[in-house]
Amino acid sequence: TAPLDAAALRADFSILGQRVNGERLVYLDSGATSQKPQAVIDAEVDFLTRANSAVHRGAHTLAAEATELFEDARATVAGFVGARPEQLVWTSGATAGLNLVAYAIGNASLGRGAPASARFALQPGDEIVITETEHHANLIPWQELAARTGAVLRHIPVNDDGTLDTDAAATLVGERTRIVAFTHVSNVLGIVNPVAELVALAHDVGAVTVLDACQSAPHLPLDLPALGVDLAVFSGHKMLGPYGVGGLYGRADVLEALPPFLTGGSMITTVTLDEAAYLPPPQRFEAGTQPVSQAIGLAAAVRYLDGVGMGAVHGHEKALEARMGEGLRSIPGVRLLGDAPGAERVGLWAFDVDGVHAHDVGQFLDARGVAVRVGHHCAQPLHRRFGLTASVRASSSLYNTADDVDVFLDALSGVRAFFGAGA
């Protein structure tokens, strides 16, 4: 693949051209949310100015056009992750997608759904396996599901170097395991997890796999069917798209057998006062008025990513990550989280600065125009595992340059002296 010209791409992101606190903005917080290229903003504005209408209902011209644009968007975003349109459910984001899955499995456990739904039914003592590295969005829905069904939540531990303890995984995943839910890339460690290995363990015992692809979808080529996962989620706003939209991917037979979570309009065939029959996927999981302009915006985002080429994006961000990792290692008092030698990574590093609170580091960098995230990044158990309550996280996207990394490293190298914590 041709290398990516980040400096040229930045012209599509006018927000990056501004100054913050008198300094050039260096945006290293794309792990929280990415900036949006003009094409995405234009796609939403164009739809709202020209074709806005509710979809899948109404015989009028605008409704037909909106429906076509909306379903085209589904095909585009599904294609981006290697899926067919009917395998992509629109959600409001990854959190909504994970809750959808957990509640749908909960409903199956109550005997709801088609006969095939019984395959998801959890009995007391059944096990749900997650990892110690999960974002709270891929943790708390499972805690709640376990509490509702009597299932037991277990976790694959993380090694000191940030890799998953796959030996422990092999013994944890057993005949009581019904669900294995894990992140493709941790939003704190940045390491690409061994998806195929975990999927093989899960499928050996007939467990359903759920992948959190939030931090991989924007940064590397993603083929969900090839990864073999049963279900996967991602968030539009992290992959150059709008807020309020995301995707739930499912294997056709899995979605087919899953009962709905939210119910109401747009997801039914026939309704009486006593009962309702449901549409097949994906509509079964899309109760209510759809996020039409957001879906169209997300389609524009993945077209933009595809235009650049995800191989090129990954290569570019790997180079930034390597430069950043090397620089961070050379600053005294900086401890990287998840610095596993040779690990496959995305452009994201979280770290601790000895003697300086993460929030002070964040403010110090902000004063120099550098935007990073501080706190627990919705991963408290993982921080506890590393003896921390907070860390600093710098995360890249395709629009970051080597100069961004250098400005960040240069600023950071002065932080300990500034706070009297050593050179």
Catalogue the active-site residues.
378
The DSSP letter of residue 116 is: G
> CB within 8 A of 389, min separation 6: which ones?
376, 380, 383
Q: Which is nearer to ligand PMP, 232 or 415 (CB)?
A: 232
Q: Is 335 exposed, middle or buried (0-12, 13-18, 19+ CB in 10 A)?
A: middle
Min dist. Cβ of residue 7 to ligand PMP (A): 27
DSSP E strands, 288-401: 334-337, 348-353, 370-371, 373-375, 391-395
Q: Which is nearer to ligand PMP, 105 or 121 (CB)?
A: 105
DSSP E strands, 319-415: 334-337, 348-353, 370-371, 373-375, 391-395
Q: Is 125 exposed, middle or buried (0-12, 13-18, 19+ CB in 10 A)?
A: exposed
Q: Which is nearer to ligand PMP, 345 or 368 (CB)?
A: 345
Between 363 and 402, how does the x/- string for binding to ligand PMP read (CB under 6 A)? ---------------x------------------------
Q: What share of the chain is helix, strand, coil (3-state, %, to 5)?
A: 45, 20, 40
Residues of span 181-200 touching ligand PMP by CB under 6 A:
183, 187
Residues of span 66-105 touching ligand PMP by CB under 6 A:
93-95
Four-residue CA torsion sign, 83, 87, 91, 93: negative
Stretch that binds ligand PMP, among 132-140, 197-205, 341-349, 350-358 (CB under 6 A): 132-140
Task: Give which of 195, 173, 182 is closest to 126, Cα–Cα.
Answer: 173
Min dist. Cβ of residue 8 to ligand PMP (A): 28
For the chain, how far is it from start to end, CA to CA, in angstroms?
A: 42
Q: Give, in order, the Cα–Cα distances in Å from 264 to each of 66, 183, 289, 290, 338.
A: 21, 30, 10, 12, 44
Residues touching ligand PMP: how many (CB under 6 A)? 13
Choose, by CB under 6 A, the member of 73, 105, 137, 201 that binds ligand PMP. Answer: 137
Q: Is 235 in the site for ligand PMP (CB under 6 A)?
A: yes
Min dist. Cβ of residue 17 to ligand PMP (A): 26
Min dist. Cβ of residue 57 to ligand PMP (A): 28
Between 206 and 225, how does the x/- string for binding to ligand PMP read (CB under 6 A)? ------x-xx----------
Q: Is 34 in the site for ligand PMP (CB under 6 A)?
A: no
Q: Which is nearer to ligand PMP, 234 or 364 (CB)?
A: 234
Min dist. Cβ of residue 156 to ligand PMP (A): 15
Min dist. Cβ of residue 423 to ligand PMP (A): 33
Stretch that binds ligand PMP, among 131-139, 143-151, 173-181, 298-306 (CB under 6 A): 131-139
Q: Which is nearer to ligand PMP, 89 or 415 (CB)?
A: 89
The DSSP letter of residue 69 is: H
Compute the distance between CA of residue 414 and CA of residue 423 in angstroms, rounded to an integer. 8
Q: Give, in order, the Cα–Cα distances in Å from 71 to each of 181, 296, 299, 322.
A: 29, 9, 10, 39
Four-residue CA torsion sign, 140, 228, 171, 132: negative
Q: Which is nearer to ligand PMP, 31 or 113 (CB)?
A: 31
Q: Can you give the binding site for ligand PMP, defined by CB under 6 A? A: 93-95, 135, 137-138, 183, 187, 212, 214-215, 235, 378
